[in-house]
Structure formats: structure tokens, C-alpha cells
A and B are shown apart, each in its own frame.
Chain A
Amino acid sequence: MKNNNTNRRWGKIRLTAKGFTAIFILILALMFLADIAEPDKSFSERENRYLAEKPTLSAAHLLNGTFETDYETYIDDQFLWRDGFVNLKGLSEAMLLKGENNAIIFGKDGYLFNKYLTLPDQYEKNINAIEQFAQNYPEIPIHVLIAPNSYAVLDQKMPEGVMNVDEIAVLNETKQMLESGSTNLDCIETASVLNAHEEAYLYYRSDHHWTTEGAYWAYTAYCKAEGIEPVSLSAYTPHEVPGFYGTLYASAGRLNGDPDVITYYDIPGAYVTLSGEGPLPLYDLSDADGRDKYGLFLYNNPSQMTVFSGKEGVQPLSDEKKTRLLVIKDSYANCFLPFLTAHYDEMEVVDLRYFNRGISALMEEDWDAVLILYNFIGFSEDNNLIKLMH
């Protein structure tokens, strides 16, 4: 060992064991110092979340270990060249021919998909909650629309042999179960109409939502189920918001195609009120310039809002009085509901995740129907549907 101390060459530099040690001491010391010196950031645009801050030291937290855990999270979140390291990992994964990163699968034609291998128990709990809800209000028709996620519809774009949850099969089973169990419940099946338009731009490539066009085709399925005439898409004026990088892109850490384009349609006359404030326009275009562009639809999930069709001559379901729909929903409804303004004068829109009251007080009002609209993954993981029973 001793004699080859100096006679190894690397280029023209002789590297000794001392020099070797020095290199690694330098790496460690510089990174240590630079990491400490680097000012903390409070928000990560890319991850769309607040980063952990330095925890305050207290004896109690130190002893029960929460200080240590928080401190580790803080070090992780605030680490030097965080974005660069995240990219380096993405690069390494790509070189390993990994078809995924962070549970996002790279599909064909630039599509990113969720990896969703297990149906959580929460799904059944939520279905039971809906069933219970329907039994509590037997005189009100309840429409349930659980939208399949992109991977379940665009199976041509999915890599072969991913053993994701078969959403379509689960939804069909649920439909049978719910409709045979209650008389005032119907499940709106959207998979076939979406499948029939598989070539269209139904889902965002880089985001977990459906596009406005996807929502439109689901809307036609809704109309068919309720026996109303859908308005043709060409009746509306479209507007485009380009450069949309969605949530799947944020998770995957890289895009394998172009950014998405969001389309929204003018609905003349329609407006919303937000906790009594308003009228406000249907679309919040201030979001169109930000990162979270999908937020332009219905103000990005307020706990409660009212959507008004705002005009005479909507196709009334009943001629005598205003038609009123109660919508219980997640963000898949946001680009879907504008189409329903053609059929309902007033929609009360509730997002149970942020709605901290029971639903029973609302149910005392006079509703023509209730629409429960979620996307499949969101629905299976949401533990707020219990609020339907209170």
C-alpha cells in the first residue's frame, strides 16, 4: 500500500491518498457550509407547497422526538441546490429506463398518468355514505357521477401491463350496486362516451384533471341520463390559455411532451356568488397567468358558492319555478358545471373538504336534485364524505 502513494497518475496530476482524502473533506465541508449559508425558502413553486421551517427547540419536543423529526424535514426541504438534485435524480431514473418517477407513469405522446395500484377501503366507505345519504332523503333524486381518471380512459396511451386499479370495472359494479339498492339514486356512466372520443383531447397530459372537452362529453352523458337535450359545444365561444404545467408534471419532475392548453367557454349571463359576495364572473382569469391555471374554473374549490345561469330562457326542467341543483363535488366539477348553467337556474356548489358543517341544514331547502361529482382517485381517498350523514 505505502509505496503506491504517489505514483498513480491522473492526467498530469499526481493524486496521493492525502489528496484523495482532501477532496472528500472539501466536498463535505463545502456542502456543509454552503447548505448552512443558503437562506431558507418558504415556498416551493414547483411542488406548490410551503417548505418546512427551522423548528424551535423545546425540551418537550426534544424528548418525544418531534423536534428531531421536524429538524430532519427542515434539512431535507431546505437542502442546497434542491431543484438541481431533484433533476439529477430524474436524469438518473431516466437513464435506468424507469418508466416512472414519483409514482407518475410516463405514457405515450407526452401523457403522464397516475400509478394507482390499490383501491383504498375508503372507497367503499364513501359509497356507503352516498347510499345512506340517499336513504335519508328519499324524495330527492340524487345523481352520482364518478369520473374515471385519465389512465382508465386513455389506455392506448398507457404503457402495457401496469397493474393499476380497473376503475371502469369498479365503477360498473358500483353503479349496479347503488341503483339496485335505492330508487332515488342514479349513477351516470361516462366511460363509454369518453372512450368513444378517445382521440379527442379529453385529459391533460401534465395534469390529473380532465379537459373542458372531456368534461363536455361527460356532460352529454349526464344529459342523456336525465333526459335533457345537451347544448352543442359549438354554440359556445372558446378561449385558450396555453402553457399549462399541471400537477402530474410537478410530481414527475419532468415533462415528456409539450405543456397543456386550457380551454374555457363563454357562458353569457352566468355568474357566481362567493359567500354572499358577487356577482362575480364565472371564470377567475387572474389564475390564468399563475402556475395553477386550472384554478380559473370556479375559483379553485371554495367551500361553498352559488352559480347562477343569470338569464331567462334556460331550458327549464320545470316551467313553474326556478330549477335548483345542489352539487357536492371535487375539482373535476369546476370545468363541468358551466355547461349545466343551460339547465339549472341556480346551483349551490359545496366542496366537502372545506365545508365544515353538516349537509342537513342545506338539505332543508328546496332542491330539484343533488349531483355528487368526483373523480375516481379523489373520491377513493377523500375522507370527508362522512359529512353527508350529518
Chain B
Amino acid sequence: MVFSSLIFLFRFLPLALLAYFLAPRFLKNGVLLVISLFFYAWGEPRYVLIMFISIAVDYIASGGIERNRSNPIRKRLFLALSICTNLGLLLGFKYSNFLIENLNAAFGLAMAPIAITLPLGISFYTFQTLSYSIDVYRGEVPAERNLIDFGAYVCLFPQLIAGPIVRYVDIRKALKSRTVDFEQIESGIGLFILGLASKVLIANNAGMLWDDIQKIGFGNLSLPMAWLGIAAFTLQIYFDFGGYSLMAIGLGRILGFEFPRNFDDPYAAKSVTEFWRRWHMTLGSWFRSYVYIPMGGNQKGFPRQVFNLLIVWFLTGFWHGASWNFVFWGLYFFVFLVLEKLFLLKWLNRHTIAAHVYLIGVVMVSWVIFAITDIGGIGLYLQKMFSGPLTGEGLYYFKSYGLTLILGALFSTPLTKKWYAQLKARRGVFALTLSVIFFVCVSYLVGSSFNPFLYFRF
């Protein structure tokens, strides 16, 4: 189930909230676990098994680590159990076919791809449970001995399928006892609707333009069209992902949890280094805590740091999808990060405007690598962006999508934060604005099912 659907908004959500708030305190986590499992099972009930495996294995592993604090070997074995299970699930479901394809290509084999669909959110919740086991191993947090509470942490529906990646340390307290007041609920509602609007009104609309660009065919694009298209994708991916995170954070807040922030005006950054501190922040800090720093971070000399960065950015890219273009996308950022560490950052710090232009340019090019899975297509698109014909073809798209994109661009600046705070300061206006936005969002959700049947009359 996705948040931006009528069934979530007008069936699941009212009933889930009702059950949750009616439940007595000692049952709340149990209710949360049940509704989260239902949320996950909807559409793909078989994969609830993975959820159970994940809960059981990490529960046992963390318990084992806890009991064997003084026995490093057994402690390690339990950690290995958790890591192998989580990575095994992730690799098995997400990367099997990629591996088969590449083995086939490299050795001329003809292994058939496996018919599996990717379980929803597996990249997120495996990382989440990994962080838990490692934190327990490191002694940063005691193992959770209440199976229900632990299950609720693993399956918590707001962040289950698209993050933010919430570390157990961050919500342990809330999991045990949480209070929620109306200010929190108010702010949760606000963030949820803001996120919904980001996804439904901006991301989906910008996405329609990007779809058209793909239908027109990259070979037919003029230079302005190529830039317009990738600008649309740039907005689409931010508002899609950022919107989803906002909805998760908002829902969490309504339930009494405070999830970490996941996006912080990334397009307003002035360097790639800064961009990655503002984009998908929980993933960045995950790689930092569990890969980069354990490998020595920047403490073992510059060449070693560069190597560590290479590994981290290879993995970051690969995490985004089982396809080479994502690997290249990660490595592309690696190159800029190293350049910035070498000399570029100093220069950028002194040239603010140039730094903004540089960042947005680098990021837009990165989205070409991200959005197009075949390498030939990436080359063709980049060629159109930098040496395509300067014609007025596609003028229509500038007119038709211009305002949408301008609004999207405005809302991806820190102005949003400012406007939002001003709006929030006047509660009545805030409520009115949010309800109007909510109804418009619903109209787009209904509109997308408006599907006149015409074909039979052709």
C-alpha cells in the first residue's frame, strides 16, 4: 500500500488510527505491529514471511549478543547471523537477477532469470535491522527483549517501505513509553499533508513531463528539451522521495514517534559534499556509521580515505538499484567528492553563486545517469544536453509545464521552510490551507482513476 492512494487515506488510515488510539497503553505496540503487518501484507501477503524471518532472526541474534558480551567469538557469530540473514535477503531478492545477467554476459552462459518480485521496502528495513544488530553488538544499546516492541520497531508502517531509515537507538525511548499531545499531532498532520502534496501535486506532475520525454525518444530531443526533461526529473525525484519521507515523519509524529529528518533543502547546497549531507540523510549517516568510519574514515591518511570513499560510493550507488547505471551514479559522486576534498571546496566556498550553479549542474547530470538504465541512452541524453540542436521544438512543453516546474523549483528552496513556519504561526489559516491542499491532492488521486473507455469506438 502506498500513502498516496485513496485506499490508504480513506480506509487504512482512519481504521488504523482508530484502533491505535482506542487501544490501552499496554496494547499500543501490539496494535501497531498488527496494523503494520497488515499494511505490508496488502498486495503481497507472501512477503510477510520475510518480515517474520527478519524479526525472529534479529531478535535471536541480538539476544545472543547480549548474553555473550564476554565471549567475543560467540558474540561475533550472532552478529554474523544477523548480517548474513539481512544481507542475504537483500542480495537474494534484489541482486540475484543482476548477478545472473552479468555472469551470463561475462561467461556466455544462459542461466534463466529468477521470477521474483522485489519485496516492498526491503532495501530500507534490512538496513534498519542491520543498524540495530550492529548497535547492540557495539554495546550502544541494549537488546530489545520484548518481542512485540521489537516487531513494532521493525515493521513500523510509516517508514517501512521508503524510509527514513530509523535507528533503534533513536526511537527506543518512544517505543517504551510515549506521549503525544495535540501540538505534535497538529505538526504531524501538517507534515503529512505537505508530503502528500509534494508527491501528488509536484512529483507526479513533473513525472508526466519526464514520461513524455521518454516517449518522444531521446534521439528526437533538442537541447532545451533535454534540459527541460532532466529538470522535470530533478524535481520529480526530490518531491517523490522527500514527500514520502515527510509523510512518514508526519505519520510517525501523530503516533508519537520522532523520526530523523531525511531531506534538508538539498538543492540549496553549495557543494556535492553539502548536498549529500542534505539528501537522503539517514542513508548517508548509515553508510558513514556502518561502513566509512569502521573502515577508518579519514583517520588513516588521504589515500586510504579515498579508498574508503570509493567503497562507500560504490555501495551507495549499488544500493539504489541492481543495475550498472546506479553504480556509475555513485562513482560519479565519488569523483566530485574527492575533487572537492582536494581543492574544489575551498574555491566553491569563496564563490557562492558559481557554487550554486555548479551544484545544480552536477546534480542534474547525475540524474541523467540515475534515471536512464541503459548506458547508451545516458550517452545519447548527455549529448543532447550539451550539443543537441537549438530548436524551438518542444516549445509546447515549456508553456504547458513551465508554471508547474517553476513552482516546484520555488518549493525546493529554503523558502518553503520559511513560508511553512509563517503559515503555521496562524493556525486558522494553516488549517484552511492544509485542507484545501488536501482536497486538491485527493482530486488528483481520483483524477488518476478517471479513465474514459474510448478504444472500442476507434
Interface residues of A (CB under 8 A from B): 1-2, 5, 8-11, 13, 15-18, 20-21, 23-24, 27-29, 31-32, 35, 46-49, 62-63, 65, 68-69, 71-73, 75-77, 79, 82, 85-86, 88-90, 92, 96-100, 102, 105, 115, 117-118, 159-163, 208, 247, 250-251, 253, 292, 294-295, 300-301, 330-331, 353, 375, 377-378, 381-382
A5–B183 touching, CB < 8 Å: yes
In angstroms, Cα B286 to Cα A210, docked, is 60
B393–A163 touching, CB < 8 Å: yes
Instruction: Select B400's contact among A17, A72, A97, beta carbons within 8 Å.
Output: A97
- What residues of B have a CB within 8 angstroms of the CB of A76 in the complex? 6-7, 445-446, 448-449
- What residues of B have a CB within 8 angstroms of the CB of A31 in the complex? 10
| A22–chain B nearest beta-carbon distance, Å | 9
B300 close to A (CB within 8 Å): no
B216–A163 touching, CB < 8 Å: yes
- What residues of B have a CB within 8 angstroms of the CB of A17 in the complex? 181-183, 185-186, 427
- Of B41-49, B323-331, B337-345, the stretch lying at the interface with chain A is B41-49
A163/B394 contact (C-beta < 8 A), A1-B183, A76-B446 known: yes
Most buried by B among A18, A75, A292, A375: A75
A68–B443 touching, CB < 8 Å: no
In angstroms, Cα B13 to Cα A278, docked, is 58
Q: Taking CB as reference atom, which chain A residue is nearest B407? A: A96
Ranked 6 nearest A-B pairs via Cβ: A10-B428, A161-B395, A49-B453, A89-B447, A76-B449, A378-B458
- What residues of B have a CB within 8 angstroms of the CB of A88 in the complex? 439-440, 443
| B109–chain A nearest beta-carbon distance, Å | 29
Interface residues of B (CB under 8 A from A): 5-7, 9-11, 13-14, 17, 42-46, 181-183, 185-186, 189, 205, 212, 215-217, 220, 225, 392-397, 399-404, 407, 425-432, 434-435, 438-440, 442-458
In angstroms, Cα B205 to Cα A382, docked, is 29
A97–B399 touching, CB < 8 Å: yes
Instruction: Select B216's contact among A65, A92, A118, beta carbons within 8 Å.
Output: A118
In angstroms, Cα B452 to Cα A253, docked, is 9
Instruction: Select A82's contact among B7, B220, B394, B446, beta carbons within 8 Å.
Output: B446
Q: Taking CB as reference atom, which chain B residue is nearest A104? A: B452
A99/B14 contact (C-beta < 8 A), A17-B186, A23-B431, A247-B452 known: no
- Total residue contacts A-B, CB cutoff 8 A: 193
| A18–chain B nearest beta-carbon distance, Å | 5
A46–B458 touching, CB < 8 Å: no
A161–B7 touching, CB < 8 Å: no
- What residues of B have a CB within 8 angstroms of the CB of A250 in the complex? 452, 454
A75–B11 touching, CB < 8 Å: yes
B10–A330 touching, CB < 8 Å: no
A97–B186 touching, CB < 8 Å: no
In angstroms, Cα B454 to Cα A69, docked, is 23
B444–A2 touching, CB < 8 Å: no
| B280–chain A nearest beta-carbon distance, Å | 28
- What residues of A have a CB within 8 angstroms of the CB of B220 in the complex? 163
| B447–chain A nearest beta-carbon distance, Å | 4
In angstroms, Cα B457 to Cα A377, docked, is 12
- What residues of B have a CB within 8 angstroms of the CB of A21 in the complex? 182, 185-186, 189
- What residues of A have a CB within 8 angstroms of the CB of B404 in the complex? 96, 98
- What residues of B have a CB within 8 angstroms of the CB of A10 in the complex? 426-429, 431-432
- What residues of B have a CB within 8 angstroms of the CB of A97 in the complex? 399-400, 402-403
B403–A96 touching, CB < 8 Å: yes
| B407–chain A nearest beta-carbon distance, Å | 8
In angstroms, Cα B447 to Cα A46, docked, is 13
In angstroms, Cα B408 to Cα A336, docked, is 48
| A92–chain B nearest beta-carbon distance, Å | 6
Most buried by B among A13, A15, A77: A15
A161–B443 touching, CB < 8 Å: no
- What residues of A have a CB within 8 angstroms of the CB of B182 in the complex? 16-18, 20-21
- What residues of A have a CB within 8 angstroms of the CB of B400 in the complex? 97-100, 159
Instruction: Select B7's contact among A28, A75, A96, A100, beta carbons within 8 Å.
Output: A75
B444–A161 touching, CB < 8 Å: no
| B213–chain A nearest beta-carbon distance, Å | 9
Instruction: Select A47's contact among B43, B216, B448, B452, beta carbons within 8 Å.
Output: B452
| B458–chain A nearest beta-carbon distance, Å | 4
In angstroms, Cα B317 to Cα A292, docked, is 53
- What residues of A have a CB within 8 angstroms of the CB of B42 in the complex? 68
- What residues of A have a CB within 8 angstroms of the CB of B217 in the complex? 118
- What residues of A have a CB within 8 angstroms of the CB of B431 in the complex? 10, 15, 20, 23-24
A331–B452 touching, CB < 8 Å: no
| B206–chain A nearest beta-carbon distance, Å | 11
In angstroms, Cα B206 to Cα A96, docked, is 12
B454–A251 touching, CB < 8 Å: yes
